[in-house]
Amino acid sequence: MKTIDGKILAAKITEAVRTEMAVLQPKLGRAPKMDIIVVGEDPYSIKYVNSKKKKSEEVGIECDVHLLSATTKQEELLHLIDQLNQNNQVDAILVQLPLPEGFDEQQVLEAIDYRKDVDGLHPMNVGLMQRVEDPIIPCTSRGILSLLQEAKVDIAGKHCVVVGRSSLVGYPTAQLMLKMNATVTVCHSQTENLAQHTKEADILILATGNPLLVTPDMMKPGVVVIDVAINFDNGKMVGDAYHPAYLDKLGKVVSAITPVPGGVGPMTVVSLLQNCLDLYKKHHNLEIK
C-alpha cells in the first residue's frame, strides 16, 4: 500500500509559489494581498487563520486578519466585505467558516466579489469550475486533485465515488472529478447500501467525519483512497477509513491512500496560497499556469 504524503507535496508547492512570487513582485510593484475575516472567538478558527497568515507571509503574500466579535451584526460584516471588494490593493478575500449562529453564511459568501473569492465558494466560481480552463477551485478540492496528480493516478474514465456532499468538500470535489472526466457517484447520509457503491470505486474520496464508516471490506481491490476527514478516537487523529486498527486490512486492499494526519490536511493551506497567487495574476491580467 502506497502512502500519498501531503506534507512532502505541500512543501514542494510552497517552494514553487515562493519562487514565482519572488519573480512577479518586482515586476508588478507590490505583493499579493489577502484579507481574512474571523467572526467570534473560536480558538480553533483563530489558530487555523494564524497558520494561514504565517504560511502566506512565508511565501511573500501580505495577509491582514480582521478579528470581529461574535456580537458583530451581519450588516457590519457585509459592510467590511464591501470595503475590501472596492479596495484595488486587495486581491483575495476569505471569510473563515463556520460563522457564529445567526449569520446567513450563504449571503456572506455571495457578498464577496467572485474575482477575489480565494476559497472558490461563490456561486459564480462554483459554476465557472465546469466552464473555464483556470477556475478558482475550493482549497481542499484543489489539494485532492494535486495529490492524485502527484501520485500519477489516472482520473479520466475512472469511477470516482465521493462519500459526503458538503458545500466545502464533497460537492465541489465531485464537480472537479467530473471536470477531470471521471465517472462520479456521490453518496451521503441518505444513501442506501453504501457498500454497493464504494465497492465499485477506482478512486474513493471520503469526507464525512464519521470514522470507520467505510471499512476495508467495503472497498474494491486496488482502489485509491483519499481520506479527507479529521476525527479523534481516544485522543488520536484518524480519518474516515485511515485508522490504526485497520491498517493491515487496508494494506491488502488499497493500492494507495492519504494518511491522517499528513495527507489532505497540509494541502488545504498550500492550495489557498496557489489560489491567492492565481487571483493576483488574474488581477494583473497575467496567464495562469
Residue 289 pLDDT > 80, yes or no?
Answer: no
% of the chain with per-residue pLDDT over 70:
100
Query: Which of these is catalytic: 35, 119, 202, 240?
Result: 119
What integer is the mean pLDDT of 132-140?
A: 92
C-alpha cell at 28: 508588478
Q: Is the pTM of this model over 0.85?
A: yes
pLDDT digits (tens, 9 = 90+) for 45-87: 999 999 999 999 999 999 999 999 999 999 999 999 999 999 9
AA letter at 27: K
Q: What is the separation of C-alpha 23 from the centre of its chain, rounded to a whole number of angstroms?
A: 26
> 154 in helix, strand or coil?
coil
Rounded Cα distance between 125 and 100, Å, is 24
CATH topology of domain 29-112: Rossmann fold (3.40.50)
Residue 212 pLDDT > 90, yes or no?
Answer: no
**CB distance 212 to 240 below 8 Å:** yes
Query: Which of these is catalytic: 33, 52, 55, 281?
Result: 52
Cβ atoms within 10 Å, residue 71: 10
Active site residue 119: yes
- Looking at residue 235, its pLDDT comes to 82
For CA atoms 95, 7, 175, 282, the dihedral sign is positive
β-sheet bridge partners, residue 141: none
> 165 in helix, strand or coil?
coil
Residue 193 pLDDT > 90, yes or no?
Answer: yes
**CB distance 75 to 18 below 8 Å:** no
**CB distance 211 to 233 below 8 Å:** yes
Residue 25 pLDDT > 80, yes or no?
Answer: yes
- Among residues 284, 278, 260, the alpha carbon closest in space to that of 16 is found at 278
Burial of 276 (C-beta count, 10 Å sphere; 0-12/13-18/19+): buried
Three-state secondary structure of 249-271? HHHCCCCEECCCCCCCHHHHHHH
Q: What is the separation of C-alpha 149 from the centre of its chain, rounded to a whole number of angstroms?
A: 15
Active site residue 83: no
- Looking at residue 67, its pLDDT comes to 97
pLDDT digits (tens, 9 = 90+) for 145-159: 999 999 999 999 999
% of the chain with per-residue pLDDT over 90:
88
The arrangement of secondary structure in 139-265, i.e. its CATH architecture, is: 3-Layer(aba) Sandwich (3.40)
- Looking at residue 179, its pLDDT comes to 95
β-sheet bridge partners, residue 37: 66, 95
Rounded Cα distance between 138 and 168, Å, is 7
pLDDT digits (tens, 9 = 90+) for 247-286: 899 999 999 999 999 999 999 999 999 999 999 999 999 9
Domain boundaries, the chain: 29-112, 139-265
AA letter at 118: V
Query: Which of these is catalytic: 91, 96, 116, 278?
Result: 96
Active site residue 196: no
